Amino acid sequence: MLQYIIQRLLLMMITLVAVSLVSFVIIELPPGDYVTAYAATLASSGDSVDQARLDSLRKQFGLDLPIYQRYLKWTWDILHGDFGYSFVWNKPVSELIWERIGLTFAISISALIVTWVLGFLIGVYSAVRQYSFGDYLFTTFSFIGLGIPDFLLALVLLWIGFRYFNTNVGGLFSRDYQTAAWSFAKFVDLLKHLWVPLIVLGVGGTAGLIRIMRANLLDELRKPYVETARAKGVSERRLLLRYPVRIALNPFISTAGWALPGLINGATIISVVLSLPTAGPLLLNALLAQDMYLAASFILILSALTIIGTLISDILLAWLDPRIRYQ
Amino acid sequence: MAQEINKPRPASPPVGNALFSTTVDEDIEPPLALSYLEDQGDKIYTATQWQLTWWRFRRHKMAMASLGLLVILYLVAIFSEFIAPADPNIYDEKYAYAPPQGIHFIDSSGTFHLRPFVYGLKSERDMETMRMVFVPDEETMYPLGFFTVGKPTKFWGLFEMDRHLFGPLDPNAAFFPLGGDRLGRDMFSRIVYGTRISMSVGLVGILLSLALGIFFGGISGYYGGIWDTIIQRVIEFFRSIPTIPLWMGLSAAVPKEWSPLRMYFAITVLLSLIGWTGLARVVRGRFLSLREEDFVLAAKLGGSSEMRIIFRHMVPSFTSHIIASLTLSIPSVILAETALSFLGLGLRPPVISWGVLLQESQNLRAVATAPWLLMPGLAVVIAVLAFNFVGDGLRDAADPYAL
């Protein structure tokens, strides 16, 4: 087990370095550097651009160094909590991102839990009552759920809310709480708004899990040992939960590892549509404005946290199911 | 016998009696006792693997219907200029957010017309909200027809053509079967043109993924060892990062002044990087299991070169699996293109794709007054579902010997 964890940790280090390289490339890709972009904003707002000041800025940010030194300086600063400077917001990046990233993960992880609970319950129901009306209903639902892109679902919900209920279902907080400090009342307000993004994010994942759970459990229920247990007079409930459900759960749990990246993907897009105060909208605006330090920090942190989350779920899985360790 | 059925092997006529007589001996057990073969009679003795796969696929009703739908979608993509009644870029401010016109057979006075028609549109002020709204103008009727002469378009930019599949007989009539957009352009025609880009992005992107997947999956599965470990780790890397933020970053870096065609290829190449990991896994798995098969050993002992073993003996036995997983991964490319373009980071106007069209629906007020702006989304859902069903059917049929 320890060997497995060490192996995975080493691998994670390499992955993190790779992610940081990609993020750095994203900073470097647009033509010109941070200071040229800054000069362009100054010029567009009518301020005079002083060449000496630009040069000193270049020096301050280390932009006159060769590329590998810039990368090392950038990662070194990040390890010390300095993510660079956002010239659009005129603030250090680290002041802008943490709350939004926290909310992104709060939404994604809540969606994961909702997806699991619903997928499990409906999947078991569908398998036990195969070909019943409910089974057909959920099967249809899961096919549509797999086909509909989440941002489209968000758009449709927004439209229905606006058109028929005359409310805006977007956002995570009521107007009064938007800028308020965290309190219990704000948390309750968050819960009131959270269900829309949870539905939108959860539908696709739930649909997939229902199909996996249903298929696995059906395979299991056809096996002779179930028949034997039934012949011996084991109650249906015990018969179902004692072995078939437990075995069918295995592939179900192993999807947890790659569910997180998908949820972060979804959360990024739908938060733009639903204008949630999460990473998505700020990342999009940063990219469109070529505010590269902000954009790259988002990409780096979202990726890094996802990798760590995946690692934790992998280790938990290996702990639950010894077979994984020896694969 | 039952054991052998499960094993993939080339279909061959039973040796023995069949060689000497044209009729099949009734006593011989059919080589494959599968329900989907019941109505094929003696043909099952000589059927090729592809025939068996096709027979099995045919049994999947939803997959067959979806296959038909995909054929239609690709025909629309190829013949966009002919099928769209109007030029997608012609705008008329007069018809901004014009509602979809109903196609009628019976006019307001109750008379039946054999030839369907639409009413003209006129603007009126809604006295309650004081906004301009469109109402059908029952005075003017525009009869519709097939193969009408409309405004000339250039088919694939090659030659002029003025025939359209359907449209109003009067080329100057206002015709909005699915409504108009912000600039009074015909939504239906725009969705038809969007089909070309959206459906081909899926196909081209997945072909690039396939090349990557076969190359890396093949090396990984056939040679194993250190290469396998490295490639597996790379795949794990790709699967553990959230791709959308990363792709947003990369596609934002595509220079805005690139020509639409160059832009299209840049985005397609980016998108193809999404799908290849899944394909590489499938290829690797197949190579691993086939490597141990007797016929591969036989080919090796027979002195076949490595390339010949791979392409002549191994690849044909899993082509159907590859096609199945290809079909299943096209939707993710289409969805990724739609999402990126929707956010304004993928393709940009004047290129028309479903995602570009959906950009218009980012404005909630516009959607509230003109819900038909969401119609391109319906096209996306239909295409994605069709690919999923066909993929499901292919996956079941990929191994026609399985029970």
Q: Any idea of the CA torsion for B302, B307, B308, B313, to the nearest 10 degrees?
A: 100
According to DSSP, residue B43 is labeled: G
| Contact: B343, A272; criterion CB under 8 Å | yes
Are A294 and A282 spatial neighbours (Cβ–Cβ below 8 Å)?
A: yes
Reading the block at residue A315, the tokens are 């280790």
Looking at CA atoms only, how far is residue A161 from chain B in angstroms?
A: 10
User: Is the pLDDT assigned to residue A197 strictly greater than 70?
Assistant: yes
What value does the mean pLDDT take over residues B324-338? 85
pLDDT at B27: 55
pLDDT level of residue B5 (50, 70, 90 thresholds): very low
- Judge whether residue B264 has pLDDT over 80: yes
Which pLDDT belongs to residue B29? 54
The Cα–Cα gap between A236 and B35 comes to 32
Residue type, A32: G
Residue in chain B lying closest to A313 (CA): B240
Is A279 within 8 Å of B245 when comparing Cβ atoms? yes
pTM, rounded to two decimals: 0.80
**What pLDDT digit, counting tens, does each position of A228-287 carry?**
988 998 888 888 888 888 877 776 666 666 677 788 888 888 888 888 888 888 888 888
Lowest-confidence segment of A130-134, B45-49, B200-204, B232-236 by average pLDDT = B45-49
Nearest-CA distance from B25 to chain A in Å?
A: 36
Bridge partners (DSSP) of residue B135 are B122
Instruction: Name which of B242, B255, B343 is nearest A306 (Cβ-Cβ).
Output: B242
Residue B69 Cα distances to A148, B11, B394, angstroms: 17, 31, 15
User: Which residue in this structure is represented by tokens 């990726």?
Assistant: A303
pLDDT in tens, B32-65: 556 666 666 677 777 777 788 888 888 778 888 8
Is A201 within 8 Å of chain B by CB? no
| Torsional class of B16: left (φ above 0), alpha (ψ -120 to 50), beta (otherwise) | left
Q: Is A284 part of the contact surface with chain B (CB cutoff 8 Å)? A: yes
Burial of residue A225 (number of CB atoms within 10 Å: 0-12, 13-18, 19+): exposed
Cβ atoms of A160 and A203 closer than 8 Å: no
Q: Does B230 touch chain A (CB under 8 A)?
A: no
Nearest CA in chain B to A156: B374
State the helix-helix crossing angle for A34-44 and A51-61, rounded to 10 degrees. Answer: 140
CB contact under 8 A, B250 and A26: yes
Mean pLDDT score across all residues of chain A? 80
Best probe of the A interface among B237, B238, B240, by most A CBs < 10 A, is B240
Distance to chain A for B286, nearest Cα, Å: 17
Is B4's pLDDT higher than 60? no
Q: What does the alpha-carbon distance between residue B311 and residue B350 come to, in Å, rounded to a whole number?
A: 43
Closest Cα in chain A to B359: A273
Beta bridge partners of B117: B104, B143
DSSP one-letter string for B268-336: HHHHHHHHHHHHHHHHHHHHHHHHTSHHHHHHHHTT--HHHIIIIIIHHHHHHHHHHHHHHHHHHHHHH
Owner of token pair 């603030």: A91
Tens-place pLDDT, residues B128-178? 776 777 777 777 777 777 777 777 777 777 777 777 777 777 777 777 878
* CA distance to partner chain A, nearest, from residue B318 (Å): 24
**Planar angle of CA A178, A181, A185, nearest 5 degrees:** 80
